[in-house]
Amino acid sequence: MTLMPEDSCDRLLDGCQSIAAAAAASDATMWEVFAIQSYGLEVEIERGRVSLAGGGGDGGYGIRVLNDGRIGFAYSAGLDGAQQMIEEALRASTLVPAIEGMELPEDKGSSEVDGMWDPAVDATTPEELMQQADSLLQQVGELDSRAMVVGGGVAVSSHAGALLTSQGISSTGMVSSHGLGIQVSIDEDDRITSGWSSQQSRSLLQDFSPMCEEGVDWAVATRDTIEDGGAIIEAPVLFTHRGISSLFSNIFCSALRGEKLARKESVWSGKEGKKVMADHLSIIDDGTLDGGSGSGTRDGEGTPTRSTTLIESGVLRTGIWSTRDAAEQVEKGNIETAESTGNASRGGHQSPPVTSMNNLLLSSSAKRDTREVLIEEMDEGFIVQSVMGAHTANPSSGDFSVTSSSILKVEDGSVVGALKQAGISGNLPSAFSDEVSLARMDDVNAMWAGGSIIIPDVMLRQGIRVNPS
Nearest to 39 by CA among 158, 120, 122: 158
CA angle 128, 134, 138 (to 5 degrees): 140
Calculated CA dihedral for residues 291, 293, 295, 300, nearest 10 degrees:
150
Residues 209-213: what's their mean pLDDT? 94
Q: What gap in Å lies between CA 81 and CA 87, rounded to an integer? A: 10
pLDDT at 441: 76
pLDDT at 320: 98
pLDDT at 443: 59
- Residues 449-467 pLDDT 10s: 556 889 999 999 999 999 9
| pLDDT at residue 448 tops 50 | no
| pLDDT at residue 333 tops 50 | yes
| pLDDT at residue 446 tops 50 | no
Domains of the chain: 8-221 (3.30.2290.10), 233-467 (no CATH)
Q: Cβ(364)–Cβ(432) under 8 Å?
A: no
Residue 227 or residue 23, greater confidence: 23
Q: Cβ(305)–Cβ(342) under 8 Å?
A: yes
Nearest to 439 by CA among 359, 377, 360, 358: 377
Q: Length of the chain, please?
A: 469
Residue 36 or residue 447, greater confidence: 36
pLDDT category at 434 given cuts 50, 70, 90 is confident
Residues 429-452: what's their mean pLDDT? 76
- Residues 418-428 pLDDT 10s: 999 999 999 99
| pLDDT at residue 228 tops 90 | no
Mean pLDDT for all residues in the chain: 94
pLDDT at 231: 81
pLDDT at 51: 86
Share of the chain above pLDDT 90, in %: 90
Residues 317-321: what's their mean pLDDT? 98
- Residues 121-164 pLDDT 10s: 999 999 999 999 999 999 999 999 999 999 999 999 999 999 99
- Is the CA virtual torsion 136, 126, 181, 287 positive or negative? positive
| pLDDT at residue 61 tops 80 | yes
Residues 25-47: what's their mean pLDDT? 96
| pLDDT at residue 447 tops 50 | no
| pLDDT at residue 442 tops 70 | no
